[in-house]
Structure 1
């Protein structure tokens, strides 16, 4: 069981990136239109999902736990937009990288 974060614990996605580096199965396309998917650069797309290297989404730049950013932030898939700092998926991803929760 993952403990709840303390109320004072802020989660800064640009210092983390764990959620984008946890599973090649996670950054999937779901309700995006064909036009929305086509706006994502082809080298970053795979069939039905974002392309990953290992478990890490290729759209993520930087070093997990230090400084990261999504290179297609404005175009990112809905599953990425739905991820919230401090939600259960965030905490699970942070735990996998031994980041504070």
Structure 2
């Protein structure tokens, strides 16, 4: 966790596992043509199915996994990235892949429609 983060809040910027655990994620699913156009072409996979995965991580991931990371396209990131929450199943799978602990993760927020 970053020193500036309150200890009761999980800080995704000190993890980044979800952005580096699989070449098959993140995939585009619900993005409009306008949303896809906002993502730099150099960061999109050649088959245009999702974000480019290079050097074992999403091309938009900056920093060092497990230390301090960020997203170069955070404001226009794919829907799947927007819905991944600390403590949800995707988070736990990604963290386990890196050997990061999953104990102490917050319960994902559940939104009722």
Question: What TM-score range do you get, normalising by the shorter chain?
Answer: 0.7 to 0.9
Structure 2 Cα separation of the partners of residues 88 and 94 of structure 1: 10
Aligned match of 1:87: 88
* Corresponding pairs, count: 94
TM-score normalised by L of structure 1: 0.86
| Pairwise CA RMSD | 1.5
Structure with the higher fraction of residues in strand conformation: 1
User: Residue 97 and residue 9 in structure 1: after superposition, are their counterparts in 2 closer, same or farther (change >3 A)?
Assistant: farther
Moved over 4 A (4+): none
Q: Is the 8 A contact 1:18 1:65 kept in 2?
A: yes
Unaligned runs of 5+ in 2: 1-6, 103-113
Q: Is the 8 A contact 1:11 1:86 kept in 2?
A: no
Structure possessing the higher radius of gyration over alpha carbons: 2
Ranked by relative contact order (alpha carbons within 8 Å, sequence separation 6 or more), the top structure is 1
TM-score (norm 2): 0.78
Q: Are 1:19 and 2:18 counterparts?
A: yes
Give 1:48 shift. Answer: 1.6
- 1:74 is paired with a residue whose SS is helix
| Alignment correspondent of 1:31 | 30
